[in-house]
Amino acid sequence: MKNQLDVLIIGSGIAALQLARLLDSALHVSVITKSVIRQSNSYWAQGGIAAVVDRNDHLRFHVEDTITAGRFHHSYREVERLVEEGATTVKQLVAEGLPIDRDEFGHISLGLEGAHRMNRIVHAGGDATGRHTIEFLLEQLPEQVQIIEQEMAYELLLSVDRSTCVGVKTKRRDGSVQIYRARHVVLASGGVGAIYPFTTNQTMLTGDGIAMAFRAGAEIADMEFIQFHPTLLYVNGETKGLVSEAVRGAGGTLVDEAGNRLMEHVHPLKDLAPRHITAYEIYKARANGKDVYIDIRSILDFEKQFPTITALCEQHGISVADGLLPVAPGSHFLMGGICVDTFGRTTIPGLYAIGETANSGVHGANRLASNSLLEGIVFGRRLAKYLNEQPQISNAIPIFHYEEKIDSEKIALLSKSELQQRMMEAVGMIRSGEKLQAHLHYLTESGVNDWIKKGIDVLSHKEIEKLFLFINSYLISYPALLREESRGAHIRSDFSIEEESWMGKRIIQTIQHTWIRRGFCESDQTRIHA
């Protein structure tokens, strides 16, 4: 089956839907998701949207907070654009009817989250901002946008010389393969949280877009920077869902089982320190055998302020009335991803990436709280404007086919749960050269370096996900070994300080080679591995 499209969007989160709703009505657009439209990370996002909408706040403050939290590993120009356009875009969404929370006087109710110096978090429905925003965007989708559910995109279609992206292959639940040709293919498929045993992500977030782009030859960067959220509800040895940072913004405090406050003398912002710092303190306390809780006893009307979290606690037998919510860190957000420019263009013509799938330079080594939904609405809007201005030229050209097919029996023998445990031990919150080398040896022995250059049509839905997890494991682990410092969410026990010599250096990976690039420009590159 062949389908000819103008714009094909892979993913159904806030970035994807913001793009889809703003594309010109003359364009033939499809949104493909391997799950259902209301099952994205964005839909379940408890946090809000960080934006300068209060007259006492300043764009410069938001820029500085973003860069400080991300440990100066950014494109400063892109951070400035994100903050400036973000403020305008949020105001537009509010004017269009986004149902944001307001105080008794009708003013926008602004929350406070970690590493923000000002109250600037816009919420909708308390801790259900994601759901309300997605529903709002879905209501505004134009008629020409087709939504296709339960199809997994697994391979980008390339021209014979592999220079241009011209479409995508998908696989339905029944195993049938679909072929879509498109002038513009946009990857907005989220991060790779499911590569760890504890995560705030939906279980289908296996890094599909990143693995597809890597196999196609695109540049991938900053994969070593994985943000662990400090507070996931922790019950009977398992994490059960996110306890939003907004709880600490409302007055919740981190305490151990004896009632000692964890963050009292660790950071000037205490419980609202940047996420990599609070997550690390909880990790250390738990490693020493101590249970950790968020003390919510000082928060008035907790059930009203945080209905989603209250329901989550009740579902898992935790009494909100007791005032102590047991928590543990879990993987939350990928700062790295597919290299893109200011419009979301990748290094392959015809291929774009937005949202968590992309590495746009706005998050640095550690994302500032609630900048993710902001990134989605800003880059979705910006890419829509760019695509609306492009000429409609046919790409009906011959496509590349893999000569060699992957051995499905070898993929079937791989263990997803074993990989998750190995990732947590070797490439989790704390890394070391010794453990990283051992993990990379495990991946090499598994055959990961051979899989990236073979066709995968024969694999089942679950086998493709497993393959993509192993590819992403390598993409995370190799730069984690190369970056011999601790910066933001990348913490090395054997290189425990932030090295000035690594300032501004990014590790770029393609299927051909890996190298270091200083900043977000083409100059000052150092080849590491061919």
Region 169-196 average pLDDT: 96
Q: Is 31 helix (H, G, I), strand (E, B) or coil?
A: strand
Q: Give the distance from CA 445 to its chain's centroid.
A: 28
Asked whether residue 364 carries a pLDDT value surpassing 90, the answer given is yes
CA-based nearest residue to 326, from 267, 280, 368, 285: 285
| 16-49 pLDDT tens trace | 999 999 999 999 999 999 999 988 888 888 889 9
Alpha carbon distance 27, 23 (integer Å): 7
Residue 59 has pLDDT above 60, yes or no: yes
* Better-scored residue on pLDDT, 204 or 147: 147
Spatial contact of 471 and 454, defined as CB atoms under 8 Å apart: no
Per the DSSP assignment, residues forming a β-bridge with 146 are 30
Quick check: 131 and 123 in contact, CB under 8 A?
no
Q: Is the pLDDT of residue 64 over 70?
A: yes
* Residue appearing with tokens 């980008």: 156
**Res. 2 pLDDT band, cuts 50 70 90:** low
Output 4 or 477, whichever has higher pLDDT: 477
Measured over the CA atoms of residue 70, residue 473, residue 370 and residue 149, the dihedral's sign is positive
Residues 6+ apart with CB under 8 A from 499: 484, 485, 487
Render pLDDT for 446-459 as a digit per residue (tens, 0 to 9). 999 888 889 999 99
Q: Distance between alpha carbon 183 and the CA centroid of its chain, in Å?
A: 25
pLDDT-based confidence at 522, cuts 50/70/90? very low
pLDDT one-digit tens code per residue, 70-127: 999 999 999 999 999 999 999 999 999 999 999 999 999 999 988 999 999 999 998 8
DSSP element (H, E) containing 318:
none
Residues in the chain: 530
d(CA 181, CA 165) in angstroms, rounded, equals 9
**Residue carrying structure tokens 């425990």:** 496
How many CB atoms are closer than 10 A to CB 282?
25
| Paired sense of beta strands 324-334 and 226-235, if any | antiparallel
Q: Which domains can be identified in the chain, with CATH numbers?
A: 232-331 (3.90.700.10), 408-501 (1.20.58.100)
Q: Which residues are catalytic?
A: 275
Q: Do the Cβ atoms of 513 and 527 come closer than 8 Å?
A: yes
Please tell me the distance from the alpha carbon of residue 495 to that of residue 106, in angstroms, as a whole number.
50
Q: How confident is the model at residue 530 (pLDDT cuts 50, 70, 90)?
A: very low
Q: Is 138 left (phi over 0), alpha (psi -120 to 50) or beta?
A: alpha
**510-523 b/e (C-beta count within 10 Å ≥ 16 → b):** beeebbbbebbeee
Sign of the dihedral defined by the CA atoms of residues 316, 38, 279, 368, in that order: negative
Q: What gap in Å lies between CA 481 and CA 436, rounded to an integer?
A: 6
Q: Given a cut of 50, is residue 487 above it in pLDDT?
A: yes
Query: Quick one: pLDDT at residue 201?
Result: 86
Question: pLDDT value at position 475?
Answer: 98
Contact 325, 294 (CB under 8 A): yes
Predicted confidence at residue 449, as pLDDT, reads 87
Q: How far is CA 223 from CA 91, 173, 525, in A?
A: 32, 30, 18
> Among residues 474, 89, 181, 491, which one has the least CA distance to residue 329?
491
